[in-house]
Chains A and B, each alone.
Chain A
Amino acid sequence: MKVWQKNLILIILVVLIAAIPLWLCRDAEFGGADGLAEELITETHPDYEPWFSPIFEPASGEIESMLFALQAALGAGVVGFILGRITAKKPADAGKA
């Protein structure tokens, strides 16, 4: 099996892992795991209060998701660029499995 075929199968598996919960638990909240942790703390320690708050907070959920997308885009851009260079520099190897 060629590398790209193997990788395609692996990526499809990852997509399935991410998508299946959306089918299986239709009425779930899919909130952040840490939100649940914070809830648990306030439940067991009613006087809990964070002693420090973030020095910068995204102004809204939209801006936060924009920053997350930016983080992913930066990372994916660099990974893609480097993998592109690595795979392009030895054309002689391209035919071998």
Chain B
Amino acid sequence: MKRSLTIRAAAVFAAVSLLSVNASAMHIAEGMLPVPWAFGWMAVCVPFVAAGFFSIKKKVALDAKAKVLLAMCGAFAFVLSALKIPSVFGSCSHPTGVGLGAILFGPTATTVLGLIVLLFQALLLAHGGLTTLGANVFSMAIVGPFVSYGVYAGLKKAGCKSAIAVFFAAALGDLMTYVVTSIQLGVVYGNFAEYLSIFALTQIPLAIAEGLLTVVVFNVLEKYSKEELRALHVL
């Protein structure tokens, strides 16, 4: 049973990759969502993106060096979302890298960073898509960062060490991104549980990896940029 499933999956995968190289994208692929859903998700994202621009303007005015840190958060998301990592469940996916931005600059500012990453991948890599940009922005650049931000704030309030709070914030934000992706496909095509098993299960070890990598960068910032982090109300 399991064997035939893998063989079938392999055959389909081979066929699809012969047809186009665009087969493997962990975001919702171009044209995958029906028109009303595609534009609906875009509409949902607009206020968050707008709020993000204002938030960035405010945060950058707070501290002169914040701009540099913001650029680094964007670059961090660039690296992490380019790394397709094998998972113990036999498929590949990639982290999102938006947790760091959410912790440092808040969720809406990170929405803008995520939008940039997703646009780059949709335009140059045929990864994700323009028509599904709204849905992907919602999962990766809105829900993910809000979860990360909330988890970090909650754990800090509960008296957790910063590094521990950062780990759980980044890991859970990453995981929730793919839970939302599963819901987005599930509401259109049914089989929510199966999409969940494809996306979210694959993502569990990757979410842990993202949490650890975010802590690596945070450790350096905590040591060398304490003032900036204080100005941004992170510490």
Chain A positions near chain B (C-beta within 8 angstroms):
3, 6-7, 10-11, 13-14, 17-18, 20-22, 24-25, 27-42, 44-45, 48, 50-61, 64, 67-69, 71-72, 74-79, 82-83, 85-87, 89-90, 93, 96
Contacts and interface: CB of A to CB of B under 8 A. Distances in A.
B158 interface: no
Given A33-B93, A34-B29, A52 B131 contact: yes
A41 B90 contact: no
Nearest to B87: A21
A79 to B, nearest CB: 5
B130 A55 contact: yes
Interface residues of B, number: 81
A34 B75 contact: no
B79 A72 contact: yes
A82 B68 contact: yes
A23 B198 CA distance: 20
23 contacts: A3-B223, A10-B213, A21-B86, A25-B90, A28-B90, A32-B23, A32-B24, A33-B91, A34-B24, A34-B29, A38-B29, A44-B191, A45-B189, A54-B126, A56-B123, A56-B124, A58-B125, A61-B21, A71-B120, A75-B77, A75-B80, A78-B75, A86-B225
Nearest to B228: A86
A29 B195 contact: no
A42 to B, nearest CB: 8
A82 B90 contact: no
